[in-house]
């Protein structure tokens, strides 16, 4: 009995050794699309033109140095163009940089938008007030006022409790943050649009955010 | 008149001969009927002085009007006849007189007619009674029959009593028969005898009339009259006394058999047994009737409110189960017992107070994160960074706002405790361990090095020598001589002067500088 097992083992070792498993290094961004360069172009809305000029260096530095992505401004076409370099480590860097610039164009501040560069799980969601409820004229204005609150306190309250950043541009609303946080912020904003008072929204926020932050 | 009479009589004859069903349908008999009724009307006219009509007007009148005329004649006639009958009932001898009178009267008129009347009286009576049952044109006939009967009665004695038949003989015969049967000499006929006579039929009316005075059964007499009227409707019951009557007859036969031995009364009253029997019978009838009638609603099983009379349920004592205990009746004893109970409880101090149920131990409330309504100073990235650091590496995590608040609060509290301990006792209390490093001044080294009391009185602060050096001869004030006191005072003065000399110089200097500056 024991001999038979030994015999088996011997036979196994006698077979020809398999070739070593090949190891490949990860592809560089440059190499990924067959050595072609990849571009991203982000158009600049007119209201963000001067803030872009002011904050250009804050945008340029992290993208160029840390993301290793080429960035330039096309003044004629009013576009920010991004291009992969040879030493771009990862293709997602380009996308992240594009998202970062796009977030800035939507209206987010640089420190908030930078989080997009640093974290993967952050998203930007946009929707319009008319998607929630058809409002016209005064009602619309009042709804926007309700959303922001006095001195923006309602908006800040939502931002702080849900760890998101909100931009209200006329009837467009943009939310930056993690997926679940975006959902909470969106629901509270929707309830505000529908007409519930701020106090009610606060109480709901408190409950939900406590659960979120656990 | 004779022609009319004849025609009238002929009409009667014709009517008599017609088949009864013919009368049911409208036929040509109307003419004959009218003639006949006219004839009869005329016949009756002499007996009715109050009649407004001389003759029955039939031309152009319909049945209803003719009938009305007849009715007008016959109504007073009937009443008068009734009176006459009653009179005869009381005084039978007058009948004979009347009979002669009528005979004479009839002779005055038409003998034939009377004879015919008499001979045919029976037939007429029968047929007249038969035709009574028919509806249409025979309303007159009915009256005719009534008239005829009454006519007959008045003249019947004469009519009946022929060579063959005498009323008195009939009476005697009947009495004999009864006597034979019952063995008793009957002068007063009882109902049974009467019934027997009725069974013989036809001309019992007079005998019944005669016996009316002795008749205890006035009802039966009336009944007999009715039966005579209704010969046309002769039925089994008429001939054979009917089932009820028969049973009565039987009963009476038996009772009479039994009562033979008891018969002391000689009156028509029933014997006790018969009375009982009668009572029983009536009771039985009652019960049978009750059984046939619909039951009382209480006995009908399930009844809805619609099927019973209104408010009938209130009158009946209904019985149904009460599932609830009835409310206790409060009497003096009950209250007294309750009060005793209360007193004893108070004495014992055994109050069954309701204990508050212990509430469930709730979890400690989570730290309610304060809603920050101001713009966050950190960027979103930093927020996430802090969060990450906190989760990954708690040590390096920067303190949050709440932590700082906590620290501040704890510091304040410690200081407070320190002060309170110091106030409460100058005894030794160990110094609270405060982590901070702070320079303590005016604390003697002894406090730093040793565990010493926190609050130290002035007495221990300084060394005795530091308080008082104690050079020379120390004397108390009371021990001083005058000179020494003067010396001390002088010393004090010199000191004071020296000090005041410095100050005015200073003041002067200040004044001069001010003046100097002002001058410029």
- Mean per-residue pLDDT, B109-126: 46
Distance CA B227, CA B208 (A): 12
Q: How many CB pairs under 8 A join A and B?
A: 62
**Cβ pair A210:B368 closer than 8 A:** yes
Residue B313 to residues A120, A138, B323: CA-CA distances in angstroms?
A: 88, 73, 21
**Cβ pair B379:A111 closer than 8 A:** yes
CB atoms within 10 A of CB A66: 13
B505 pLDDT more than 50: yes
Nearest CA-CA distance, residue A113 and chain B, Å = 8
Triad B4, B6, B10: Cα angle to 5°: 115
For the sheet with A122-128, list strands across it: A122-128, A172-178, A165-169
Q: Is B284 helix (H, G, I), strand (E, B) or coil?
A: helix
Distance CA A48, CA A108 (A): 10
Helix H or strand E segment including B13: helix B2-17
Nearest CA-CA distance, residue A114 and chain B, Å = 7
Query: What's the confidence (pLDDT) of residue B231?
Result: 62
DSSP B354: P
Nearest CA-CA distance, residue B406 and chain A, Å = 20
For the sheet with A69-74, list strands across it: A39-43, A79-84, A69-74
**Cβ pair B379:A115 closer than 8 A:** yes
Distance CA B37, CA B31 (A): 10
Query: What's the confidence (pLDDT) of residue B227?
Result: 53
Distance CA B443, CA B450 (A): 12
Distance CA B373, CA B370 (A): 9
Instruction: Report ipTM for this prediction.
Output: 0.79
- Among chain B residues, the shortest Cα distance to A202 is held by B371
pLDDT in tens, B137-157: 444 444 444 444 444 444 455
pLDDT classification of A138: cutoffs 50, 70, 90: very high
- Mean per-residue pLDDT, A93-112: 94
B56 pLDDT more than 50: yes
- Interface list for chain A against chain B, based on CB atoms closer than 8 Å: 109-112, 114-115, 118-119, 122, 149, 152-154, 156-157, 159-161, 163-165, 176-177, 202, 205-206, 209-210, 213
pLDDT in tens, B17-27: 777 777 777 76
B106 pLDDT more than 80: no
pLDDT in tens, B295-352: 888 888 898 999 999 988 888 888 888 888 889 899 999 999 999 999 999 999 999 8
pLDDT in tens, B384-409: 888 888 888 877 777 777 788 899 99
For A196, counting Cβ atoms within 10 Å of its Cβ (0-12 exposed, 13-18 middle, 19+ buried), the class is middle
Residue B282 makes CB contacts below 8 A (sequence gap 6+) with none
Tokens read off for A31: 């190499």
- Mean per-residue pLDDT, B272-283: 93
**Residues B191 and B148 sit within 8 Å (Cβ to Cβ):** no
Please give the torsion angle defined by the CA atoms of residues B505, B509, B512 and B517, in that order, rounded to the nearest 10 degrees: -170
Task: Point out the residue among A114, A153, A164 whose CB comes nearest to the CB of B373.
Answer: A153
Tally of residues, chain A: 214
**Cβ pair B381:A114 closer than 8 A:** yes
Task: Point out the residue among B371, B381, B382 whose CB comes nearest to the CB of A157.
Answer: B371
**Cβ pair A111:B384 closer than 8 A:** no
């Amino acid at each position: 009995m024991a001999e038979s097992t030994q015999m088996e083992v011997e036979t196994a070792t006698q077979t020809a050794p398999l070739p070593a498993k090949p190891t490949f290094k990860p592809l560089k961004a440059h190499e990924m699309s067959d050595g072609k360069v990849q571009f991203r172009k982000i158009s600049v809305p007119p209201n963000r033109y001067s803030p872009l000029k002011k904050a250009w260096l804050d945008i340029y530095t992290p993208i160029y140095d840390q993301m290793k992505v080429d960035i330039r401004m096309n003044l004629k076409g009013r576009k920010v163009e991004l291009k992969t370099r040879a030493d771009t480590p990862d293709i997602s860097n380009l996308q992240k940089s594009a998202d970062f610039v796009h977030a800035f164009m939507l209206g987010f501040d640089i420190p908030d938008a930078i989080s997009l560069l640093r974290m993967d799980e952050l998203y930007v969601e946009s929707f319009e007030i008319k998607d929630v409820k058809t409002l016209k004229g005064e009602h619309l204005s009042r709804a926007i006022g309700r959303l922001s609150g006095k001195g923006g306190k309602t908006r800040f309250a939502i931002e702080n409790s849900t760890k998101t950043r909100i931009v209200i541009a006329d009837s467009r609303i943009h939310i930056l943050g993690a997926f679940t946080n975006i959902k909470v912020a969106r629901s509270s904003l929707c309830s505000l649009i529908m007409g519930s008072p701020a106090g009610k929204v606060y109480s709901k926020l408190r409950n939900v955010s406590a659960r979120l932050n656990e | 008149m004779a022609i009319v009479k004849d025609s009238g009589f002929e009409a009667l004859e014709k009517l008599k001969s017609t088949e009864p069903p013919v009368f049911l349908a409208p036929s040509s008999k109307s003419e004959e009927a009218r003639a006949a009724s006219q004839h009869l009307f005329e016949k009756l006219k002499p007996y009715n002085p109050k009649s407004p009509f001389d003759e029955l007007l039939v031309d152009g009148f319909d049945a209803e009007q003719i009938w009305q005329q007849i009715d007008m004649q016959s109504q007073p006639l009937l009443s008068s006849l009734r009176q006459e009958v009653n009179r005869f009932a009381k005084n039978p001898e007058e009948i004979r007189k009347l009979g002669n009178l009528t005979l004479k009267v009839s002779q005055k008129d038409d003998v034939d007619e009377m004879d015919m009347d008499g001979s045919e009286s029976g037939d007429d009576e029968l047929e007249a009674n038969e035709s009574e049952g028919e509806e249409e044109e025979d309303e007159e006939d009915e009256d005719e029959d009534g008239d005829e009967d009454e006519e007959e009665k008045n003249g019947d004695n004469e009519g009946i009593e022929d060579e063959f038949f005498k009323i008195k003989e009939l009476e005697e015969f009947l009495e004999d028969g009864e006597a034979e049967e019952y063995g008793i000499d009957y002068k007063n006929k009882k109902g049974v005898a009467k019934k027997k006579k009725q069974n013989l039929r036809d001309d019992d009316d007079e005998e019944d009339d005669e016996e009316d005075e002795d008749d205890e059964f006035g009802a039966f007499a009336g009944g007999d009259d009715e039966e005579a009227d209704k010969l046309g409707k002769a039925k089994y019951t008429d001939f054979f006394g009917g089932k009820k009557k028969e049973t009565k007859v039987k009963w009476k036969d038996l009772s009479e058999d039994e009562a033979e031995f008891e018969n002391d009364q000689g009156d028509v009253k029933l014997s006790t047994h018969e009375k009982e029997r009668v009572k029983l019978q009536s009771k039985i009838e009652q019960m049978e009737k009750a059984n046939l009638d619909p039951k009382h609603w209480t006995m009908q099983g399930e009844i809805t409110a619609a099927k019973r009379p209104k408010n009938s349920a209130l009158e009946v004592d209904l019985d149904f189960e009460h599932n609830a205990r009835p409310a206790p009746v409060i009497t003096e004893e009950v209250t007294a017992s309750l009060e005793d109970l209360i007193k004893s409880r108070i004495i014992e101090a055994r109050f069954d107070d309701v204990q508050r149920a212990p509430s469930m131990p709730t979890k400690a409330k989570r730290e309610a994160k304060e809603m920050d309504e101001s713009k966050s100073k950190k960027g979103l990235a930093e927020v996430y960074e802090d969060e990450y650091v906190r989760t990954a590496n708690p040590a390096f995590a920067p303190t949050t706002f709440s932590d700082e608040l906590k620290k501040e609060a704890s510091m304040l509290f410690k200081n407070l405790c320190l002060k309170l301990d110091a106030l409460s006792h100058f005894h030794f209390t160990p110094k609270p361990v405060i982590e901070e490093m702070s320079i303590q001044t005016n604390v003697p080294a002894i406090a730093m090095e040793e565990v010493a009391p926190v609050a130290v009185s002035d007495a221990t602060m300084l060394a005795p020598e530091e308080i008082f050096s104690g050079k020379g001869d120390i004397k108390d004030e009371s021990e001083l001589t005058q000179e020494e006191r003067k010396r001390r005072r002088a010393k004090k003065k010199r000191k004071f002067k020296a000090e005041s000399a410095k100050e005015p110089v200073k003041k002067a200097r200040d004044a001069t500088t001010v003046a100097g500056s002002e001058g410029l």
